[in-house]
Structure 1
Amino acid sequence: MNMHKFLYLLLCLFVPQVWGMTQNIHFSGETMGTTYSVQLDLTNIDVTAEELKRRVELELDKVNQSLSVFNEDSEITRVNRSTSKEPITLSNRLYDVLEISKQVSLQTDGALDITLGPVIEFWGFGVKPRELKQKDRGQLELARSKTGMDGFALGADKLEKIIPSLTINPSAVAKGYGVDRVANVLSEAGVNRYLVEIGGEIVTKGETAEGKSWKVAITRPEKLSLQFQQVVGLNNMAIATSGSYVNYIETAGQTLSHIIDPETGMPIKNTVVSTTVLHPQCAVADGFATAFMVLNLNRSIEIANQLGLAVMLIEKTEQGFKAHFSHAIYPYLLNHSGTQNGV
């Protein structure tokens, strides 16, 4: 899942001096079980910062109301409770997320599977309290029988359950989608220079007041680390990161990742410990970041190159961390002088 991202903005970009005479505004709050923050320039914009924050939080409430599996009254909760095979009419927000998830799943050999709720609950990473005692392979296979991306079909604005008991957890895409929706609110208000972040997922528009790309630092894949692994420059681009180094269970001498392999139903055992994806849509980047945590390193890079995706994978080796890059990410990487490669 992508709920644990540690993308840290280079603070030097956000001090007032950098923006000169522009109206640099910042506001933040809580959403989706984490925090959000917005940096924007309101020069020549008629809407006030207070009004924009109100609009942003209203949109985030709508996203939560559609996508939160922790909300008993949310749209996705109602869909999950239904055992009917009759088509269910969906909001645009939920439909968008399910459509993106379907597409990313198809493009990654099924590595993204948002129907794994029963398996996630089995391993103790879901809504219910963690309890791994007295669980066996038979119970795992029973949970797996209730999953599968082919267990639901989309048509027009409707969802049809092929597996009546199917449940859907869109968390792997939800935060990225929330970022996209906030960006849409700002763009509709005429804001042309901003950075939006939710739980580490980021989208940018325009350049800084200095005419440069927004600098975003990706930390090393270690719990609570503040050391930078790589810095990238973003302009009209989103970034999402997924990792297996924060959310895990230690039991019976084993460390179990919260990321589940749909093919086996088991927590992943992968040398890749962090994946970062750049894409114009944060929801799409979010989905691919999760999928590439499931696939092995070579297959992930192969898919990224085939699709032209800008991707960085960090592998944990006996010698330490090693970064691997797709072809498309190189123009975004910042070198030691602070300029972008190939720019």
Structure 2
Amino acid sequence: MRVKKNGTTVNRWQGWIFFCIGLIGLAVGCWYRHAGLRKDASPEVAESFGVMGTVASLELAGNAETAGAAQQRIHRIFEDVEARWSLFRPESELSRLNASAAEQPFACSEELWRVLRLAREAWQASDGAFDISAKPLMDLWGFYRKRGTMPTEKEIAAVLPRVGLDKIQFDDEQHSVKFTVPGMALDLGGIAKGVAVDWAKEAAVACGVKAGVINLGGNLALLPEPLPNRESYRIGVRHPLRAEQCLEVLELQNCATATSGGYERFVELEGRRYAHIMDPRTGRPAEQMLAVTVIAPSAGQADWMSTAVFVGGEAIGRRLAERYPDTRMLLCFEDGNGGVRVVRLPVE
């Protein structure tokens, strides 16, 4: 079978390899399968590329003009989000906010304010399990700069007062942010990629692309229609203990998925691995779960909810499932016998 990459026809299996490269390198628990597409179901665009510290994968159906236009717009969106909100670029909007918001209110762009509003909703809905102000803790534990020893109780206690959205003044009229405690900092890592995927999906649909998959670091948006001659998209949920196995296959379309897990991205301190997901309430990495997969109407929602439930556990998952009835979740726990116990929410 044949697909096209950047307008050039390539072998179908090469296209599949491009897509898998993105998924393998993402530290996530979901992957997309064509399950035997015929030639006339091949997407017009199939590519993978690096951006925002991860790998993006696109599969866009339609004609060359619409798919190519969508491809270009998605590239610009991802690159713009990276430029605006990277923690590793001193000139980015987020870096400038973190550097100055303790001194005076920082006026946010409309794009950043939209993300902050969603992050505030997430913080409130999750009872603080999702908190974009956890960057000081991420720094302490060496998730951005390696350290060889465990943080002490004294170090954790010293950092915790600088964490919490309740310590930030949000001016809804001026769209500004003010830190009330020196040393605070925001980290959009658990929400920005999902939001970027939502914007990319909107751009693709606006260009006339109705079928395809947009994947950014494991945050997937499935376009409104399946690819030709298919009834849906097949999303495999990775087994959190055995990477070569699929825990479950979901048949989906016109929605988004995200997975949070501790089996790929982690820091190792004193011989023990700690997941790259922080519990902002305790000052320690979350440890009670193996993985969480969320299916939601938007990628931004799926992104923050998977993080919140990974941190807060089944109780937060049940609360969020009740509050957001159009979402579904798969919660994975160790069963004590080397296997996985799966809790599906909402309970049917």
What TM-score, normalized to structure 1? 0.85
Of 301, 304, 308, which residue of structure 2 is paired with 1:287? Answer: 304
> RMSD between aligned alpha carbons?
2.2
1:339 maps to none
Q: Distance in 1 between matches of 2:136 and 2:208?
A: 43
Q: Distance in 1 between matches of 2:111 and 2:272?
A: 38
Q: CA deviation at 1:196?
A: 0.4
Q: Distance in 2 between matches of 1:152 and 1:18?
A: 53
3-state DSSP of counterpart to 1:145: helix
1:223-264 Cα shifts (integer Å, max 9, x gaps) = 7x1311111122110000000122223333543232222221
% of aligned pairs identical?
23
3-state DSSP of counterpart to 2:193: helix
Q: Distance in 2 between matches of 1:193 and 1:254?
A: 43
Does the CA contact (< 8 Å) of 2:235 and 2:252 recur in 1? yes
Residue 234 in 1 paired to residue 234 in 2?
no
1:94-243 matches, within 5 Å, as: 94-126=112-144, 128-132=145-149, 135-154=151-170, 155-156=172-173, 157-205=175-223, 206-222=225-241, 225-243=243-261
Does the CA contact (< 8 Å) of 1:219 and 1:228 recur in 2? yes
Q: Distance in 1 between matches of 2:67 and 2:268?
A: 48
Q: CA deviation at 1:282?
A: 0.3
User: Which segments of 5 or more consecutive residues in structure 1 lack a partner in the other structure?
Assistant: 331-343
Q: CA deviation at 1:291?
A: 0.5
Q: CA deviation at 1:164?
A: 4.2
1:246-325 matches, within 5 Å, as: 246-270=264-288, 272-308=289-325, 309-319=327-337, 320-325=339-344
1:333 maps to none
Of 62, 74, 79, which residue of structure 2 is paired with 1:56? Answer: 74
1:36-51 matches, within 5 Å, as: 36-43=56-63, 46-47=65-66, 49=68, 51=69
1:335 maps to none
What TM-score, normalized to structure 2? 0.84
1:292-325 Cα shifts (integer Å, max 9, x gaps) = 0111324423432343121110111113111110
Most deviating of 111-120 and 81-90: 81-90
Runs of 4+ residues over 6 Å off in structure 1: none
Does the CA contact (< 8 Å) of 2:55 and 2:216 recur in 1? yes
User: Which segments of 5 or more consecutive residues in structure 2 lack a partner in the other structure?
Assistant: 1-25
Amino acid at match of 2:92: S
Amino acid at match of 1:218: V
Does the CA contact (< 8 Å) of 1:150 and 1:162 recur in 2? no
Does the CA contact (< 8 Å) of 2:84 and 2:94 recur in 1? yes
Q: CA deviation at 1:216?
A: 0.8
Does the CA contact (< 8 Å) of 2:261 and 2:275 recur in 1? no
